[in-house]
Amino acid sequence: MTNRIFYTKPSITQLETDYATDAAATGWGAHCYDYINRFERDFKTYLGCGFAIATSSCTGAMHMGLAALGVGEGDDVILADTNWVATVSPIVHLGAKPVFVDVLPDSWCIDPGEVERHITPKTKAIIATHLYGNLCDMDALLEIGKRRGIPVIEDAAEAVGSVWNGRRAGSMGAFGTFSFHGTKTLTTGEGGMFVTNDAALYERVLTLSNHGRARGQTKQFWPDAIGFKYKMSNIQAAIGCAQLERIEELVARKRAILAAYMVRLSALPGISMNPEYSGTINGAWMPTAVFHPSTGTTREMMQQAFEAANIDARVFFYPLSSLSMFEDRPENVNAWSIPGRAINLPSYHDMSEADIDRVAATLLDVAAGRIYHNSTALRQSV
């Protein structure tokens, strides 16, 4: 049996080990925030934004950011139907209503036209999720937000290293959130980051993040509001500092893996992968293959083939509106159609060329006989 190819795993070197060891040995008492402060400082510098708060998760960062914007009962928040549940959970926890809209067929990110169509007087915020490293159309979304007086939030959980016309993903909206889960390009094991250029919003989130204790409060253990406990540990931040020193290397390797897949699958008609349009850089967190409906290739066929080949493969996110906890079933054609003919491909930093060959060959085997017979027609239809 060949070795199993995992869908993702982190790149941990001696640098991460050394920093984590130092944090465990010395990062207590007066030094308990040293690596956290450093990580926040270095991350905001990398991103090119004014303020950053390290958190226990991207979900926690989103929860606090939405709360600081005043999202609550009676409010609507627009987001893409194609999303992981972590993006919608804070909306529900705050008592607001998620409004699921369709995604674009090429980037799989939120459709600005559908955003505009679903805005009502109840709309409190728009969340732009940069899916799998792909970028939302931020020019269109920010224009809508400015014209309609609605904050645009960037869910950049999967988009470290992605750039939109010279600006890094997460740095453009009212606030941005990042994930440093163990599967992500930059990891702290678990963890996240809240970022913003709005000083007042930063102060509100900073207060919320510390159990409601305001930075200027002189009374010890005196909260000024009911807050949250979504803090990152100093040891996690130490790992993050090391990862951030290697960020260009980490992103470059992810991009190289996506490019390698594209080369190997380029002769296969009826398939599309993560796009990179003029003026953008795709951080390439998760290479994804989407088959044209006319190929007949399904998610289940690909899952079975990969399992037989001892390869992990992740399914494309199911539409949030398909989940049992939500009653609305909007006609979001792309969000409902794409998952049934898509698959996330393995991508981790020490993948070998042979590993990439094996994954690509398995995908080619699945497609063989179903699309080669009609390659010319398929090229014309996609």
Taking the C-alpha atoms of residue 204 and residue 212, their distance in angstroms, rounded to an integer, is 9
Angle in degrees, CA 237, 60, 83, rounded to 5: 110
In which residue are the tokens 């600081």 written?
68
d(C-alpha 19, C-alpha 14), whole Å: 9
Cα–Cα distance measured from residue 280 to residue 259, given in angstroms and rounded to the nearest whole number: 15
**In contact, 163 and 251? CB cutoff 8 Å:** no
Determine the Cα–Cα distance for residues 251 and 47; give it in Å rounded to an integer: 14
184 is annotated as an active-site residue: yes
* Both tokens assigned to 2: 């060949």
Q: Which residue do the tokens 């159309």 mark?
A: 137
How many C-beta atoms surround the C-beta of residue 356 within 10 A? Answer: 21
Indicate which residue of 9, 97, 146, 184 is catalytic. 184
What's the CA gap between 338 and 356, in Å, rounded?
Answer: 23
Looking at the annotation, which residues are catalytic? Answer: 184
